[in-house]
Amino acid sequence: MYDCAIIGGGIAGLQAAIQLGRYMHRVVVFDAHGGRSVLAKKYSNIIGFENGVSGPSLREIGHKQARTYETVEFVNARVTEARRLSDEYFELRTDDGQAVQAQRVLLSTGLSDRLPEEIEGLHEVLGSAIYLCPDCDGYEVRGRVCAILGAGDVGAALACTLRYWTDQLIYINHEPDENLISASLRSRCEQAGVAIYEGKIQAVHVQDAEHLSAVELADGTRIKAEKGFVAFGGVHVESDLAEMLGVKRLENGHIPVDGRTKETNVPGVWAAGDVTVHSQLLTVAIGDGAQSAIWIHKSLQDDNR
């Protein structure tokens, strides 16, 4: 029996594991190696990393640090089933047939972005020349020619948001047949000086590791750009396990939590990081992980009194 099972080995989950390890609680972390931190090649908005740090590097550091605590274990598997067995504990089952019981559960499962596989070179430059989050990386495109690779209104809205950092904006609607741009957003883009292209994106071409040279459409058109953002919509919040546990979810799948404790509406179940309702920043995920761990510890202490 574990004191706490952490589902998700990203930034929030790792921070929680470190904090709970320092309380000497027996913890198991299930890591399916998903989430945005797996993709990000460079975070430049984190205190202490003035030259930036990649998501995979930060996860490796976190894994190493968490493993220094003898009570923290890692399981490389995806949890596919979750249920409460009694008032005292929960049971989790993984895709490889393991079953684990724990007194507390922390959901730090993050989200998954829709990134079209058919666009050549896209994954290779995510987080270095093409970005996902304007709050994290809008600064990186300041004054640059920036192409937004997206679909319908989602991409058009992001193009307007990025006008804060640069007035050299190009929006390429990758799915013009399936995702039309509404008249209101098209008008906003025009007023903001955003050039709009409609057509399938074939490939992104790079100048160097941190700069694009062009975005190529399926018809051979090459659109010059130095930086880029993606906004295809269809982001999937990884909260299906929450539903199995009776945890309240919003229409978009995000999990509302108590602002102080990070506990969900279900006693014994916490949530932290991008799966919850807040700005999707790595630094926020770190705080979520630490805060949830503190209150998980307090609840375990209360049970022992």
SS3 (DSSP) at 150 = strand
Smallest CA-to-CA distance from 275 within 76, 112, 100, 119 is with 112
Collect all residues with Cβ–Cβ distance below 8 Å to 174 and sequence separation of at least 6: 116, 119, 149, 150, 151, 155, 199, 200, 201, 232
Residue 115 pLDDT level (bands cut at 50, 70, 90): very high
Q: Any idea which of 35-49, 116-130, 146-160 has the lowest mean pLDDT? A: 35-49
In the chain, the percentage of residues whose pLDDT exceeds 70 is 99
Whole-number pLDDT of residue 305: 59
Task: Tokens for 161, please give them.
Answer: 């948001």
User: What is the chain's mean pLDDT, rounded?
Assistant: 95
Residue 41 pLDDT level (bands cut at 50, 70, 90): confident
Contacts 24+ apart (CB under 8 A), 214-221: 215/147, 215/149, 215/170, 215/172, 217/172, 221/197
The predicted model gives 182-209 an average pLDDT of: 95
The predicted model gives 47-69 an average pLDDT of: 94
Domains 2-113+235-303 and 122-231 share a fold: yes
The CATH superfamily assigned to 122-231 is FAD/NAD(P)-binding domain (3.50.50.60)
Smallest CA-to-CA distance from 276 within 293, 297, 252 is with 252
SS3 (DSSP) at 209 = coil
Whether residue 303 has pLDDT greater than 80? no
Q: Rounded distance, CA 24 to CA 72, Å? A: 8
Whole-number pLDDT of residue 304: 67
Residue pair 62/38 in contact by the 8 Å Cβ criterion: no
Whether residue 205 has pLDDT greater than 90? yes
In the chain, domain spans = 2-113+235-303, 122-231
Q: Rounded distance, CA 6 to CA 219, Å? A: 47
Q: Under CATH, which number does the domain 2-113+235-303 receive? A: 3.50.50.60
The predicted model gives 170-197 an average pLDDT of: 95
Render pLDDT for 142-155 as a digit per residue (tens, 0 to 9): 999 999 999 999 99
Render pLDDT for 10-34 as a digit per residue (tens, 0 to 9): 999 999 999 999 999 999 999 999 8
| Cα dist from 225 to 58, 130, 149, 172, whole Å | 29, 11, 11, 11
Render pLDDT for 267-281 as a digit per residue (tens, 0 to 9): 999 999 999 987 789
Give 4's strand partners. 27, 104
Collect all residues with Cβ–Cβ distance below 8 Å to 87 and sequence separation of at least 6: none
Whether residue 261 has pLDDT greater than 90? yes
Q: What is the largest CA-CA distance in the chain?
A: 70
Smallest CA-to-CA distance from 26 within 3, 8, 49 is with 3
Q: Rounded distance, CA 103 to CA 84, Å? A: 10
Q: Rounded distance, CA 102 to CA 268, Å? A: 10
